[in-house]
Copies of this chain bind each other. A is one copy, B any other.
């Protein structure tokens, strides 16, 4: 298993924060490794405290199912096949903002962003993920 390094994780967060500044948001940004364990985290000044936990869970959720949390969300609505999955694994998050991190073809971890609209959250996570690869 190829795993993310701290240097890579920091570059993801730095790229995410650049995008957050462009958007004028205040974000929590979490990076987990290939095993789903927290590797690096930054909370911008003034970012919501409730988004600390959400950012970490978004990153973990993305890696746990090897897909964007936005994609998981299409399957978790009422009437959909994964309805209620959020209560498993100590709490998952199935709305946008969790994005996989790849180096070449390998998934090395995931980034989770929370602090604004889910569109902004996702945009900042995608910008972070683009720092690798």
Task: Given A36-B35, A36-B49, A42-B10, answer yes or no on A84-B95 (Cβ-Cβ < 8 Å).
Answer: yes
Interface pair B89/A83, CB less than 8 Å apart: no
A interface, how many residues as a size bin?
A: 35 or more
Q: Which residues of B contact A33 (CB under 8 A)?
A: 35, 43
Task: Given A40-B41, A41-B41, A43-B40, answer yes or no on A92-B87 (Cβ-Cβ < 8 Å).
Answer: yes
Q: Which residues of B contact A42 (CB under 8 A)?
A: 6, 9-10, 39-40
The contact sample of 18 A-B pairs, CB cut-off 8 A, is A9-B42, A35-B36, A37-B49, A37-B52, A39-B42, A48-B64, A49-B63, A50-B64, A50-B65, A53-B88, A57-B88, A76-B84, A81-B96, A85-B95, A87-B87, A87-B91, A87-B92, A87-B93
